[in-house]
């Protein structure tokens, strides 16, 4: 089992969700986060004062999957979020030790999907 964490551009969330559903990945958690990449992003101006290099708004997805779903999930995220520009984001894949479905107390592979 793996935990996949992805950081993507906010305006790509709909597209990524669409791709994930196509890949039959239907369980995900979404967060709005701030992050610092190499990208300067959309510059904001408050009363004429330019602010660059501040933390940029991103969307963070968390998806726990069984091993055979890892590659399709990564592919779907990349498919949905890639523009080729700086700031498209990252996908992290982490080892996942266990998983418990609270309702049934099932563990591991059966609990995840």
Partner 1 sequence: MNSGDTAWVLISSALVLLMTPGLAFFYGGMVRKKNVLSVLMQCFIIMCVLSIQWVLFGYSLSFFPGKGFWGGFGWFGLNGVGFEPYTDYAGTIPHQAFMIFQAMFAIITPALIIGAFAERMKFSAFLLFTVLWATFVYDPLCHWVWANGGWLRNLGALDFAGGTVVHINAGIAALVTAIVLGKRVNLDNNIPTPHNMPFVVLGTGLLWFGWFGFNAGSALGANGLAVNAFVVTNTAAAAAGLSWALIEWMRNGKPTIFGVCSGAVAGLVAITPAAGFVSVVPAIIIGLLVSVFCFTAVTVLKPKLGYDDSLDAFGVHCIGGIWGALATGLFASKLVNPSGADGLFFGNPKQLLVQLLAVLTTVVYTGVVSWIIYKVVDLIIGIRVSEKDELVGLDLTQHRERAYTVLE
Site for partner 1 in 7-66 (CB under 8 A): 10-12, 14, 18, 32-34, 42-46, 55, 57
Give the nearest distance from C-beta 109 to partner 1 in angstroms: 30
Q: Which of 71, 39, 66 is nearest to 53 (CA)?
A: 39
The number of residues that bind partner 1 (CB under 8 A) is 15
Cα within 13 Å of Cα(27), Cβ side? 11
Give the nearest distance from C-beta 18 to partner 1 in angstroms: 8
* Angstrom distance (rounded) from CA 66 to CA 55: 33
**Kind plus residue range of the DSSP H or E element containing 91:** strand 89-95
**Which lies closer to partner 1 via its Cβ, residue 62 or residue 111?**
62
**Which lies closer to partner 1 via its Cβ, residue 55 or residue 86?**
55
Q: Which of 59, 55, 56 is nearest to 15 (CA)?
A: 59
| Contacting positions for partner 1 (CB under 8 A) | 10-12, 14, 18, 32-34, 42-46, 55, 57
């Amino acid at each position: 089992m793996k935990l996949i964490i992805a950081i993507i551009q906010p305006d790509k969330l709909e597209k990524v969700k669409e791709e994930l559903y196509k890949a039959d990945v239907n369980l995900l958690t979404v967060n709005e986060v701030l992050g610092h990449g190499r990208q300067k992003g959309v510059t904001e101006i408050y009363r004429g004062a330019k602010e660059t290099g501040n933390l940029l708004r991103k969307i963070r997805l968390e998806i726990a999957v069984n091993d055979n779903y890892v590659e399709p999930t990564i592919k779907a995220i990349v498919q949905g979020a890639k523009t080729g520009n700086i700031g498209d984001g990252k996908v992290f894949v982490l080892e996942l030790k266990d998983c418990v479905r609270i309702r049934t107390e099932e563990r591991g592979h059966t609990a995840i999907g």
